[in-house]
Amino acid sequence: MIGIFMNNSGKEGGRVQAGQIPILRVDADTIPRAYEQAIREVWEKGISIRTEYDRPEDPPSRDATVVIVVQEPFAQPRFHRSFADGLGGLAEYVMEVVHGAHDYWVKPLEEILKGTESKDTRWTYTYHGRLFEYRVEDLVIDQIDAMINKLAATGYTRRAQAITWNPKLDPPTEDPPCLQRVWGRLCEDEEGGYVFNMNTHWRSRDLFKAWFENVIAITTLMRTIAEEIGKKINSPVRVGRYADISDSLHIYGSYFREIEGDPEKGIKSFFDKLESRTFEERTWHSDFVKSHFIDDGLGKGLKPMLEREMEMPEDVRQAIARELRSMEQDDYIV
Amino acid sequence: MAIYEQIADEVVKGQADAVKELVNQAISEEISAEDVLNNGLVAGMNVVSKKFKNNEFFIPEVLVSARAMTAGLEILNPLLAEANVKSKGKIVIGTVKGDLHDIGKNIVGMMLQGAGYEIVDLGADVPKEKFIEFTQKEDANVVGLSALLTTTMIYMQEVIQGLKDAGLRDKVKVIIGGAPVTQAYADQIEADGYAPDAASAIDLAKDLLD
């Protein structure tokens, strides 16, 4: 075990020496608030530990087991401005998770089975592929449809879940899925209306550069599930609180320069950047984001995606075109 | 506030519609397209570039500003061509074959465009033949290669070899970047330069072309 753990710089204390991974909890009203609080928590209280992705010169990552609760995933402002893509790219990622826009980028099974020996650089999985088309021997199972049916029949069931992990395909690959499980349940509010609560469980998670985009996509899926249950039970189902549970939520060592800044060179730390602006100035409302989701003017977004990705299967293309039409309506919230 | 400053300010704020309106106003006031470009759009993107370098701007904000700049540029382009205004240099850019990641490449392209270079973006998963074809066709000064994976960055060497075989290597500078790429790797494959981030890519292009 020598060499795995390292002390946090400048900190004394028992966490690392005791060999215990901290368990942190973040509770926020909106997604951007949750994102900022989680970064502060993991940065201040996480342990330092190596990851398989570190380059030799990188310091160890800051890491913790973290439970994050977002009370109102579609409350505004819904978008933080800190993520590693543009708004058009984020829109395409949402289409990838919710509609399977990039399932056709997954390599054939025989290549996946070669593990790290495979020279094929296409992907080994997508979340949509695993959730909507999970393969067990000769069966292909739409787990999200099963969740919807289960919850429509018995809203209080504890059995509505979808998994991603494939014990045959995933251990040998270099890049196995981070999301492991989606679980949901219906509750009633004070007026007797239905509320869909959803939990997601993640094996590992890049907090600084992936968490926010993951959550925008997965809460869009959450809303889709709620709407589909509503159609089946002929009653509206409201999106409730979203709980996000990561075994390892981390800030990679390679990001520390960006987090810490370099005052001598006039480079701000991430936290100074946050503090130098109001919350409004470091977030965006869905109204602003929507036109960028449709077309960001730089070749990304739903319209350019449909024009660019001609190999996308027709049913997926139609689903994205429907999403685009909905997005063009005034009351649609991205 | 002078109209140039207003244009630059709206570029920084990422307000594409306001930029379009102000650029049209400037043109109607018979201000030259070149002046609107350099003192308005490029000046605005210079501020964005500096803020990004100093960790004051987030990545999506850079792209929102780039969209605003592009909106203005679309109006100016025919006028610039008419006036025979030359860019600082032409850069063919793409993510190499086998690699579908394009965020870093897009940011670098946008920031270079904002610094006054003409960008020919070939997209992601680009084979060497396409780099060679466009280097020749566009008479490019620089080829920018991007890769996010250790498994795909090795293709950069093939592109450089392809440019050599096509007799283009002496006519064009090759710059590389991406998460797994290092200066040592750039030296190993005989690239002309390596940029660890988007802001450095601008400095690198300036050093190589000026």
Which CATH number fits the domain that encloses residue B24? Answer: 1.10.1240.10
Please count the other Cβ atoms lying within 10 Å of the Cβ belonging to residue A90.
25
Place of tokens 């014990």: A167
Shared domain for B124 and B204, answered yes or no, is yes
C-beta pairs of B80-85 under 8 Å, 24+ apart in sequence: B80/B33, B80/B34, B80/B37, B83/B32, B83/B33, B83/B34, B85/B33, B85/B34, B85/B37
Q: Are residues B70 and B146 in the same domain?
A: no
Give the ranges where chain A is alpha helix by DSSP (H). 14-17, 31-45, 87-99, 109-112, 127-132, 143-153, 212-233, 256-260, 270-275, 286-294, 302-308, 314-327
Kindly state the average pLDDT of the residues A68-96. Answer: 97
Domain identity same for B125 and B32: no
B56 and B112 together in one domain: no
Q: Which residues of chain B have pLDDT under 50?
A: none
pLDDT at A146 over 90: yes
Query: How many Cβ atoms are within 10 Å of A166's Cβ, its own excluded?
Result: 18
Dist. CA B137–CA B171, nearest whole Å: 13
> Are the Cβ atoms of A85 and B59 closer than 8 angstroms?
yes
- Domain of residue B159, CATH code: 3.40.50.280
**Mean pLDDT within A301-314:** 96
* Contact (Cβ atoms closer than 8 angstroms) between residue B20 and residue B56: no
| A14-28, A53-67, A274-288: least confident range | A14-28
Alpha-carbon distance of A76 to A213, in angstroms, equals: 16
Tell me, what's the pLDDT at A330? 80
Torsion of the alpha carbons at A322, A323, A325 and A329, rounded to the nearest 10: 140
The string of pLDDT tens digits covering residues A153-166 is 999 999 999 999 99
A100: left (phi over 0), alpha (psi -120 to 50) or beta: left
CA distance A177 to A187: 29
Task: Looking at the complex, report in whole angstroms how far the Cα of residue B170 sits from the nearest Cα belonging to chain A.
Answer: 31
Q: Please state, rounded to an integer, the average pLDDT across all residues of chain B.
A: 94
Min Cα distance B104 → chain A (Å) is: 8
> CB-hemisphere CA count at 13 Å for B108?
32
- What pTM does this model have? 0.90
Chain A hits for B54, Cβ within 8 Å: 266-268
Q: Which fold has domain A5-280?
A: Thymidylate Synthase; Chain A (3.30.572)
Residue A194, beta-bridge partner list: A188, A237
- Asked which of B51, B82, B113 is the last residue of a domain, the reply is B82
- C-alpha angle B88/B90/B93, rounded to 5°? 130
By the 10 Å C-beta count (0-12 exposed, 13-18 middle, 19+ buried), B62 is classed as: buried
The C-alpha atoms of residue A31 and residue A70 are separated, in whole angstroms, by: 6
For residue A137, is pLDDT > 90?
Answer: no
Same domain, B78 and B110: no
Contact A81/B99, CB-based, under 8 Å? no
pLDDT of residue A174: 85
Q: Does residue B61 sit in the same domain as residue B94? A: no
Give the domain range for residue B19.
3-82
Chain B residue numbers with beta carbons less than 8 Å from the beta carbon of A126 are: none
- The band of A13, judged by pLDDT with boundaries at 50, 70 and 90, is very low
pLDDT of residue B48: 93
B151 and B167 in a single domain? The answer is: yes
pLDDT at A323 over 90: yes
**How many structural domains does chain B have?**
2
Looking at the structure, tell me whether residues B12 and B48 fall in a common domain: yes
The beta-carbon neighbor of A268 closest among B56, B63, B98 is B56
B75: enclosing H helix or E strand = helix B59-82
Chain A 53-72, residues with CB within 8 Å of chain B CB atoms: 55
Q: Mean pLDDT across the stretch A45-55?
A: 89
Whole-number Å distance between alpha carbons of A228 and A146: 11
Q: How far is A298 from chain B (nearest CA, A)?
A: 6
Per residue in A150-200, pLDDT (tens digit) is 999 999 999 999 999 999 999 988 889 999 999 999 999 999 999 999 999
Give how far A266 is from chain B: nearest CA, Å.
6
- The tens digit of pLDDT for each residue in B126-159 reads 999 999 999 999 999 999 999 998 889 999 999 9
Which of B49, B64, B82 lies at the terminal end of a domain, its last residue?
B82
- Confidence category of residue A246, pLDDT binned at 50, 70, 90: very high
**Which of B60, B106, B180 has the CB atom closest to A81's CB atom?**
B60
pLDDT at B102: 87
Query: Do B70 and A268 lie within an 8 Å CB cutoff?
Result: no
B178 CB neighbours in chain A (<8 A) are none
User: Do B78 and B94 reside in the same domain of the chain?
Assistant: no
Beta-ladder partners of B195: none
pLDDT tier at A212 (50, 70, 90 boundaries)? Answer: very high
Q: How many beta-carbon pairs below 8 A join chains A and B?
A: 71
- Other C-beta atoms closer than 10 Å to the C-beta of B184 total 8
Residues B37 and B136 in one domain: no
Where among B56, B82, B108 does a domain terminate?
A: B82
Q: Are A205 and A178 in contact (CB under 8 A)?
A: yes
Contact flag A297-B70 (C-beta cutoff 8 Å): yes
Query: Does B10 lie in the same domain as B95?
Result: no
In this predicted structure, what is the pLDDT of residue B63? 93
Distance from CA of A81 to the nearest CA of B (A): 6
State which of A93-102, A110-119, A257-266, B201-210 shows the largest mean pLDDT: A93-102
Task: Single out the residue of B48, B191, B168 nearest to residue B112, CA to CA.
Answer: B48
Q: What is the dihedral of CA A108, A109, A111, A113, to 10 degrees?
A: 170
Contacts of B2 (CB under 8 A, 6+ apart): none
Same domain, B60 and B97: no
Which chain B residues contact residue A105 at CB under 8 A? 100
pLDDT value of residue B86? 86
